[in-house]
Amino acid sequence: MAKIHEVARAAGVSISTVSYALSGKRPIAPETRRRIEEAARELDYQPNAGARMLAGRRTQIFALTEPFRADTHAPAHMAFVLATSIAARKYEYDILLLTEEEASAGMRRVASSGLADGVLVLDVAPDDERVALARRIALPCVFIGVPDDHEGLVCVDLDFEAAAALAVDRLADLGHRSIGLIGHPPASYVRSNFPPRVRRGLEGRAAELGVDCAVVLPEADGPRRTPVRAAVRELVEGGATALVLHCDDTSHAVALDELAALGRRVPDDVSVVSVGATFDTSAFHPPIDSVPLVPSASCELAVELAMRMVDGGDVPAAVHLIAPEYRAHGSTAPPPSASA
């Protein structure tokens, strides 16, 4: 709770010199700077947040709007919140949490009270109500996810189409001619923005390559995940030699379990690739190849763009897609027919 004038007195300089020394905005003699820094350290000086906001026109705060919908997949979203927070701290920014109904009312409030320098929008729905708001408020907004109508917005996201296509490429390269997708529950294809993109990417690239492609979207249910098991059986018995998984971690585990129950070995009998997972697919038995969704990648880019906007740099209003990356863990191989 030391104040700047105490530091100034301790260092034998004026208040403004302290400010310039600490911000580096004007040249200060090395010896003077040293004294000031030492005094600041000894007094445990931290500039008062309110005063800084008022005088500096910078709050050093980003608002994070996160609706926490009932169907929000908690672990994944926690990972995004965490990644955002860590990315922001690298620029000395803090995160103010705006939840629920507050996601919209809060955005407005934060904008007009000048509580934050920018807004990061998480858990984006295809028809997100925050889109309209983002266009209206005079605050940099970055969407992590892509709403249907994203004109004039700055969005960041994994290139899900390319991610799915990458998985298809890999499998096709190995000689697979028939692959199956186990997706999220059907409801997710309405509420979230990315499941349809994975499906599109997969089917599109499969068509380009002349690869057969079946899609099953198992309903969500209890711990038995019966629909997932049924999906695995359906696809494998239908002749698929490779499975692409785009679903939650439990479904991954259940799918592997079902393959084992069917006596199909991975990767000898069936190849498996995960697309868009935020969890660690190398921890499964067996470890699974993955084209992951990396929260820190999206969040770091989002924060970087937000910072540029705050600093007055101009950032193209566009969807900034992050290139996918294939992580091999040994769950893919040529199909049995090819080696036979």
- Footprint (CB under 8 A) of a copy of itself, residues 254-313: 254, 257, 285
Best CA proximity match to 122, nearest among 85, 91, 174: 85
CA 83 to chain CA mean position, Å: 8
CA distance 258 to 276: 21
- Footprint (CB under 7 A) of DNA, residues 9-38: 12-17, 19-20, 22-23, 25-33
Tokens of 256: 């592997």
CA distance 182 to 216: 5
- Shortest spacing between CB 162 and a copy of itself, in angstroms: 28
From the list a copy of itself, DNA, none, which binds 85 (C-beta under 5 to 8 Å, kind-based)?
a copy of itself
CA 21 to chain CA mean position, Å: 37
Residue type, 340: A
Report the sign of the C-alpha dihedral through residues 230, 236, 240, 245, in that order: positive
**Residue 70 contacts a copy of itself per CB under 8 A:** no
- Shortest spacing between CB 134 and a copy of itself, in angstroms: 16
CB-wise, 88 or 165, nearer to a copy of itself? 88
- Shortest spacing between CB 22 and DNA, in angstroms: 6
- Shortest spacing between CB 49 and a copy of itself, in angstroms: 4
**How many CB atoms are located within 10 Å of the residue 310 CB?**
19
Build a one-symbol-per-residue string for 33-72: x at contacts with DNA by CB under 7 A, - elsewhere. x-----------x-xx--xx-xxxx---------------
Residue type, 87: A
Helices and strands, number each (H, E), in the chain: 14, 11
CA distance 109 to 112: 5
Tokens of 81: 């919140």
- Shortest spacing between CB 88 and DNA, in angstroms: 18
Q: Is 238 helix (H, G, I), strand (E, B) or coil?
A: coil
Residue type, 287: P
From the list DNA, a copy of itself, none, which binds 32 (C-beta under 5 to 8 Å, kind-based)?
DNA
CB-wise, 201 or 218, nearer to a copy of itself? 218
Cβ distance 276 to 198 under 8 Å?
yes
CB-wise, 33 or 150, nearer to DNA? 33
- Shortest spacing between CB 59 and DNA, in angstroms: 12
Residue type, 303: V
DSSP at 44: T
CB-wise, 2 or 321, nearer to DNA? 2
- Shortest spacing between CB 78 and a copy of itself, in angstroms: 5
DSSP string, 145-205: S--S--TT-EEEEE-HHHHHHHHHHHHHHHT--EEEEE-S-TTHHHH-SSHHHHHHHHHHH
Tokens of 319: 């969807």
Build a one-symbol-per-residue string for 100-139: x at contacts with a copy of itself by CB under 8 A, - elsewhere. x-x---x--xx-xxxx----------------------x-
From the list DNA, a copy of itself, none, which binds 93 (C-beta under 5 to 8 Å, kind-based)?
none
Applying CB under 8 A, the residues found at the interface with a copy of itself are 1-2, 44-54, 59, 61, 64, 68, 72, 74-75, 77-78, 81-82, 85-86, 89, 94-100, 102, 106, 109-110, 112-115, 138, 222-225, 250, 253-254, 257, 285
Binding site residues, DNA, CB under 7 A: 3-5, 12-17, 19-20, 22-23, 25-33, 45, 47-48, 51-52, 54-57
